[in-house]
Chains A and B, each alone.
Chain A
Amino acid sequence: MSTLTLREAPPERLDFLSLSPLSLSRLSQGEAERLEVGTSRRGMRLGDCFSVSLDGSDTLTIEGGHERLDRVGASLSEGTIRVVGDVGQRLGAGMAAGTLTVTGHAGPYAASGATGGTITIEGDAGDFAGGAVYAAKAGLDGATLIIRGTAGDHCGDRMRRGLILAGRTGAHAGARMIAGTLAALEVGDLPGYGMRRGTLVVGRHGALSPTFVETGSHDLVFLRLLARQLNSLSEAHAALLAKPLRRYSGDLATLAKGEIWVAG
């Protein structure tokens, strides 16, 4: 297992786009320490604030995270990255496959545009978790994002494919969703605003847009299949689907093929 150990808080934001178990496995210790990760005009190299220990394996551990570490795991296409601590923005953004775990909190835009793999945040996530960055076509795009704590506003904004599980989310969860599934124990105001297709499963919710209409209670095979899938990731989320469910269809301001399932 390769390990990067944070020695001191970085004086500027660092960009970890080029760091993955695969990229490090091809480098010598010295080459890895000289990797340019800084973002200011002075720049920083990996060895300036991390102790580097490499063994060429497909597992990388970052001991001691920091909210200034951006794009951690963004280039992950195989293997595992585990961060003990916090990370900055765009955790696993655009990631294709593999496993990415953060024990602390993540900044905004976690898993944005991620097409595969599993991203787990054991603490809280910032705004736009699984959401789209500026001018991107879509947010989460096929990966699985699990947020054990609380996600900020706009969780799953414009997500196109994949699955998001969150403890609680702020306002506008699943807004402008293109497709995919988002399950949360509690969401804030206006969930699913402007959603075209897709499925939201929620426990409690804030104000619902008047452009969602209740379409009754249903017992669908799909829900039992979804519950089985969620159960392997989070029993609390799967338990939502065991309760009586009311279905709201919307957003009628757009295509209106989305749905919000509210657990009674």
Chain B
Amino acid sequence: MPAWVKGAATDIDAAIAAAADLLGAARVPIIAGLNAEVSAIQAAFALAGRVGASLDTDGAAGTYAELGALSRVGAMTSTPAEVVGRADAVLVVGANPWKSDLVGRLVGSRPTRGRAAGAERSLLALGAAQDRATVSVSAEGGCLPALALLRAHLRGHLSDDSPVADLTQRLASARYVAVLYDPAEIGEMGVETVQGLAVDLNDKTRGFALAVPGPGVNQDRAVVPVSAWTTGQAPRVGLGRRVPEHDPWRFDAARQIAAGEADAALWIASVPAPRPSWLGRVPSVALVGEADPDAAEVVIAVGVPGRDVGGVLWNEARGALAYRPPQPGASAPADLPTAASVLGRLANRLAARSETAC
């Protein structure tokens, strides 16, 4: 079982002991990344309660753009399967959704169910010129003004013969409209405008918004429900005062490190993810699917869910949490522990020390 302490290979017991020393001595430890299967995310919340840590995720910018708009204006949303099956007009906002698998499934296919079954499907691009789009409307000033302009036309507050007016006409005359966006790209105000657009579309036809992941794929969609059922809050919670406190600004891991507030970090990426730039700036422990001995002071290799070990992950295509069994014949060593088991052993070790027990 590969594990390293200060770059030197060691066994997992010694690595867990070193990690417990590091986290047990900290005043303000943070647990970040959470790019992992559901059992590991649950174990991370339990460990955070044990050591009084705060939690943050890889995709927090997009997650909070989505949750912030949801908390204010609600959401009219759909699933990838519904969009593929029913949408005869798909509005793609910004550049990132074009890189998603979903757009690949939409191009060249037709809706097969519902009122628009058999109709031609048009892909409409807003904010990024696209060869694959039926119509592209560029946005020199960014996505926000373009979205506002589109919504103003749809509400009948503006009227002219601009490309946006043509786009509005196409949306209003479609039978089922889907609006695809990447929350991290357009931000909370953009998501709110998209959701407002969906509400306005439903005065005329059927319309739904659907967030699709940008280039940085993460497990935030799994973290949000685990955090909600564990703490009643969204992911950025701190347990320093032994009750879950939700504060998206205070528990931003990168900010905590930059401000010198956090003095130890545990980074979890059993689903391989790029290492954050701040990781080496405080004493750190890394639980990673793709191990790099120099990633942190203590590095423990864990099984990648859906490859080396089984685990429940967010399935983007289905829009649901789903179990992914280990792949037979995976190249990694078969005796890799799960991230959840390492986190459990770490919590038990810390619990054995009276000064860190809750």
The smallest beta-carbon distance between B239 and chain A, in angstroms, is 8
Cβ of A209 within 8 Å of any chain B Cβ, yes or no, is: yes
Given contacts A12-B27, A134-B246, A193-B144, contact A41 B52 (CB under 8 A): yes
Which DSSP category, helix, strand, loop or mixed, fits chain B's interface?
mixed
Residue contact A211 to B242, C-beta cutoff 8 Å = no
Q: Which residues of A contact B246 (CB under 8 A)?
A: 134
Q: Which residues of B contact A68 (CB under 8 A)?
A: 261
State whether B155 touches A252 (Cβ < 8 A). Answer: yes
Shortest CB-to-CB span from A115 to chain B, Å, is 19
Q: Tell me whether B152 and A252 are in contact (CB under 8 A).
A: yes
C-alpha spacing A68/B148, complex, angstroms: 37
Q: Which one of B51, B71, B158, B196 contacts A41 once the chains associate, using CB atoms below 8 Å?
A: B51
Known: A135-B71, A172-B189, A175-B189. A190 touches B196 (CB 8 A): no
Are A134's CB and B68's CB within 8 A?
A: yes
Q: Which of A135-163 contact B (CB under 8 A)?
A: 135, 158
| Docked-complex contact A41 and B157, CB < 8 angstroms | no
Residues of B within 8 A of A215 (CB): none
Q: Which of A105-147 contact B (CB under 8 A)?
A: 108-109, 134-135
Q: Which residues of B (192-234) have their CB < 8 Å from a CB of A?
A: 192-193, 196, 234
Which residues of the partner chain B approach A89 to less than 8 Å between Cβ atoms? 249-250
A209 & B144 in contact (Cβ 8 Å cutoff): yes
Residues of chain A contacted by B353 (CB below 8 angstroms): none
**B residues near A135, Cβ cutoff 8 Å:** 67-68, 71-72
16 A/B residue pairs, CB under 8 Å, sorted by A: A12-B27, A12-B28, A39-B245, A40-B52, A109-B249, A134-B234, A135-B67, A176-B192, A193-B148, A209-B149, A210-B141, A210-B149, A251-B148, A252-B148, A253-B148, A253-B149
Whether B148 lies near A40 (C-beta < 8 A) is no
Residue B151 lies at the interface, judged by CB distance under 8 Å to chain A: yes
Q: Which residues of A222-264 have CB atoms within 8 Å of chain B's CB atoms?
A: 251-254, 256
The reply to whether B152 and A42 form a contact with Cβ atoms under 8 Å apart is no
A residues at B contact (CB < 8 Å): 11-13, 39-43, 67-68, 70, 89, 108-109, 134-135, 158, 172, 175-176, 190, 193-194, 207, 209-211, 251-254, 256
Instruction: List 20 extra interface pairs beyond A210-B145, A251-B148, CB under 8 A.
Output: A11-B27, A12-B28, A39-B240, A39-B241, A41-B27, A89-B249, A134-B234, A175-B189, A176-B192, A190-B144, A190-B145, A193-B189, A194-B148, A209-B145, A210-B141, A211-B149, A211-B152, A211-B157, A251-B152, A253-B193
**B294 vs chain A, min Cβ distance (A):** 29
B64 close to chain A: CB less than 8 A: yes
- Please determine whether B189 and A134 come into contact, CB atoms closer than 8 angstroms: no
CB pair A253–B151 under 8 Å, yes or no, is yes
Cβ proximity bits B60-84 to A, threshold 8 Å, 1 near / 0 not: 0000100110011000000000000
Tell me which residues from 134 to 165 in chain B have a Cβ below 8 Å from any Cβ of chain A. 141, 144-145, 147-149, 151-152, 155, 157-158
- Across the interface, do B189 and A209 meet the contact criterion of CB distance under 8 Å? no
Interface contact A253-B152, CB-CB below 8 Å: yes
* Across-interface contacts of B52 in A (CB, < 8 A): 40-41
Q: Cβ of B68 and Cβ of A194 under 8 Å apart?
A: no
Contacts A209-B148, A210-B145 given; indicate if A42 touches B250 (C-beta within 8 A).
no
Q: How far is the CB of A86 from chain B (nearest CB, A)?
A: 13
Q: When chains A and B are docked, how far (Å) is the Cα of A80 from the Cα of B51?
A: 38
Query: In the complex, which residue of chain B has the Cβ closest to the Cβ of A175?
Result: B189
B: number of interface residues (CB 8 Å): 37
Name the one of A108, A176, A211 contacting B158, with C-beta atoms under 8 angstroms: A211
Chain A residues in 8 Å Cβ range of B272? none
Which of A43, A109, A211, A253 has the most chain B CB atoms inside 10 A of its CB?
A253
Distance of A74 from chain B, by nearest CB (Å): 13
B249/A108 in contact, CB under 8 A: yes
Chain B residue contacts of A251, Cβ below 8 A:
148, 152
Chain B residues in 8 Å Cβ range of A134: 64, 67-68, 71, 234, 246, 248
Bound complex: CA of A108 vs CA of B144, how far in Å? 23
Q: Which residue of chain B lies nearest to A134 when distances are taken between CB atoms in the complex?
A: B248
Q: Are B152 and A40 in contact (CB under 8 A)?
A: no
With contact pairs A134-B248, A252-B152 given, residues A176 and B189 touching in the complex (Cβ less than 8 Å): yes
Q: Which residue of A lies closest to B29 (CB)?
A: A41
* Given A176-B192, A194-B192, residue A211 in contact with residue B148 (CB < 8 A): yes
Contact A207 B141 (CB under 8 A): yes
Quick check: is B311 within 8 A (CB to CB) of the other chain? Answer: no
Determine if B238 is an interface residue (Cβ-Cβ < 8 Å). yes
Nearest B-chain residue to A68, judged by Cβ: B261
Instruction: Return the 5 tightest CB-CB contacts between A and B, nearest first.
Output: A41-B52, A252-B152, A253-B148, A252-B157, A135-B71
Within the complex, the shortest CB–CB distance from B224 to chain A, in Å, comes to 13
Question: Within 8 Å CB of B149, what residues of A?
Answer: 209-211, 253
Q: Pick from A11, A68, A109, A254 the residue with the most CB of B within 10 Å.
A: A254
Interface contact B250-A253, CB-CB below 8 Å: no
Separation in Å of the B104 CB from the closest CB of chain A? 31
Interchain nearest-CB distance for A123 vs B (Å): 18
B28-A40 in contact (CB<8A): yes
The chain B residue with its CB closest to the CB of A88 is: B250
B71 / chain A contacts, CB cutoff of 8 Å: 134-135
> Nearest B residue to A109 by beta-carbon distance?
B249
Q: Which residues of A contact B67 (CB under 8 A)?
A: 134-135
Instruction: Write out the residue numbers on chain B whose beta carbons fall within 8 Å of the beta carbon of A175.
Output: 189
Contact of B238 among A39, A43, A67, A190 (CB under 8 A): A39
**A155 vs chain B, min Cβ distance (A):** 14
User: Which residues of the partner chain A approach B234 to less than 8 Å between Cβ atoms?
Assistant: 134
Q: How far is the CA of A89 from the CA of B28 in the complex (A)?
A: 18
Contact in complex: B155, A194 (CB < 8 Å):
no
